[in-house]
Structure 1
Amino acid sequence: MLSMVRRPNPVQWLRYAAGGRLPDHLREWVLRDVTTRTWFLRGAARSSLLVLPLSSVWLLLPGPLGLRLSLCLMALLVGYFYSLAYLEESCEHKLVKHGYRYGSGRATRNAAKDALEAEAHARYVARYRN
């Protein structure tokens, strides 16, 4: 079923990662993007699109290399801290922007987690309690 979900092309993904909206036919991909098992890593990749260019600007300023590298590191730390701290809210905003109701991302991730935990519990019971 996952292979039937259409993916955005690279230009569309760059626009999406920068905060833009994808066409309606990619709506299911957005839901999958923010609710799949690797949603946190995908969010970090989207954040990198914004954080890396902004932090690399410090390298272009005049001054000692050590100071410029320190400024880049600080910009990366602060940028990733805030983008990852609010990643769940950002994902929910992306879903609302694509026509889903607020909270559907969290609910979908929780349902998938509950299903995995139930499956693991069933395997545990089958192995150790029979």
Structure 2
Amino acid sequence: MVVTQRQSEEEDQKEAMVGKCEKCRREMIRHEYYAGPQGAVDYDPERWGRSDDLIPQFPTLMGSMEYAEIRNSEEGRVCKECGHVNNLLDTNIWGWPRAVEQTRRVNAAHRAIVQAAAQADAKIAEEAAE
């Protein structure tokens, strides 16, 4: 796998991942997605998470995960040119699943703490009013 990246100096940050056949080297998959950072015009906070996430998912990482899902599907592994069944792409060596799951857990924990604090504040206010 080869990763080539260039930061856009304009508003849109369009990225793509391309998969080639291991045997004939023909392009099998091209997965394009917008990966603008938080605050950019093309950034969509709910595309890969929630708008209230404390820590947003990294768009390049999420687009890479989408690519891997497509690439590892039965249709995504079979080359339409030569019929070769390509090996599965091991995302664990890149750490993508772990990073995504850790970010999800951090955000879930943050929401739980905020909710617990609000409940504690309500209880304190109720007890003070008695």
TM-score, normalised with respect to structure 2: 0.31
Structure with larger RCO (C-alpha < 8 A, sep 6+): 1
Whose helix fraction is larger, Structure 1's or Structure 2's?
A: 1
Whose strand fraction is larger, Structure 1's or Structure 2's?
A: 2
Larger radius of gyration: 2
TM-score, normalised with respect to structure 1: 0.31
